[in-house]
Amino acid sequence: MRRKNFYLAWLALHLFFIVAVCAHQVFWLIASGLTIIPAAANGTYSQAEKITSTIIGQNLPASNPAKIALFGYLHSAGIEGAYGFFAPNVPENFKLAFEFRNADGRVEDDLPNVESRAAVLRLGSLLDKIGLSDSEQYRRILIRMLTSAAWKNHPDAISAHAVFGKLKLPNPLEYERGVRPAYEFIAAYDFEQSADPNAK
């Protein structure tokens, strides 16, 4: 009986954290105005988001032992994130392209290079993280990493120009009228060989 009670207590806590993490995401989406819920209700959901955020330990300092234990458990059980796949809306599609310039002025175009279909999906996820990030510094670091990886295919290049953009998809009616997917410029970054010792 005692063993069963232990299992029951664990299950209650486990399900509680799953619900808290998922509810936190739902409240955040509503409070951020990303859903069909009217903006008038945003304040209430913003409050609810703060409460759930506290429950799942997000407001605790990184060194807090309770946070370390809780986040360790959530990640180990695979329950640290919610399940809003392609929700509430399908995110934009992002693309990164490179121009590598050689000493003789020749320019070679390239894209981030992976071998397998499985890795293509992961690369897409990485580009989404770059595109959806609010931090310009984070975005720059990740693009620099991807540029550095692609640079290996262009050993003679002395500089690289990375262009980050997003794909604007037409809806079905627009598509029927002849509108086709088009990339929109978001940002461009220049890297010099001398300034980037890891690039080659």
Partner 1 sequence: MNSSRLTILNNLPIPTRSSINHVLQRLREWLFLSSSDRWLSILRIGLSLQLILYTFSLRADWRSLLAGTGHGLASRDLAEALLSLESPIIPRLGWLIVAAKQLGLSEATALNLSWYGLTLASVFLLIGLFSRPMAIASWFLHLGSVKSGGLATYGVDALTTIGLFYLMLSPLPDQLSLDYLWRKKLCNPQLLGFWRRVLQLHLCLIYFFSGLTKALGNDWWNGINLWRALTRPPFDLISADILVRFKHFLPITGVAVWLLEIGYPFLIWHRRLRRPWLIAILLMHAGVGIAMGMNLFAFVMIVLNLAAFGPGILWHRRQAADDGSCSSESLARSPNN
Region binding partner 1 by CB under 8 A among candidate stretches 98-106, 144-152, 157-165, 184-192:
144-152
Residue 33 sits in the site that holds partner 1 (CB under 8 A): no
Residue 189 sits in the site that holds partner 1 (CB under 8 A): no
Q: List the 182-192 sheet strands across, edge first.
A: 107-110, 93-102, 157-168, 182-192
Give the integer Cα–Cα distance in Å for 45 and 23. 10
Cβ closer to partner 1: 40 or 117? 117
Residue 111 sits in the site that holds partner 1 (CB under 8 A): no
What residues numbered 57-96 form the site for partner 1, per CB under 8 A?
Answer: 62, 67-72, 75-90, 93
Give the integer Cα–Cα distance in Å for 56 and 50. 10
Q: Which of 36, 105, 178, 194 is the binder for partner 1 (CB under 8 A)?
A: 36
Residue 35 sits in the site that holds partner 1 (CB under 8 A): yes
Tally DSSP H helices, then E strands, for the chain: 6, 4
Cβ closer to partner 1: 43 or 181? 181
CB of 189 to partner 1, least distance (A): 16
Residue 39 sits in the site that holds partner 1 (CB under 8 A): no
Region binding partner 1 by CB under 8 A among candidate stretches 46-54, 97-105, 164-172, 186-194:
164-172
* Greatest Cα-to-Cα distance within the chain, rounded to the nearest angstrom: 79
Give the integer Cα–Cα distance in Å for 46 and 155. 51
Region binding partner 1 by CB under 8 A among candidate stretches 48-56, 100-108, 122-130, 156-164:
122-130
Neighbouring C-beta atoms of residue 6, cutoff 10 Å = 10
- Based on its alpha-carbon atoms, the radius of gyration of the chain, rounded to whole angstroms, reads 23
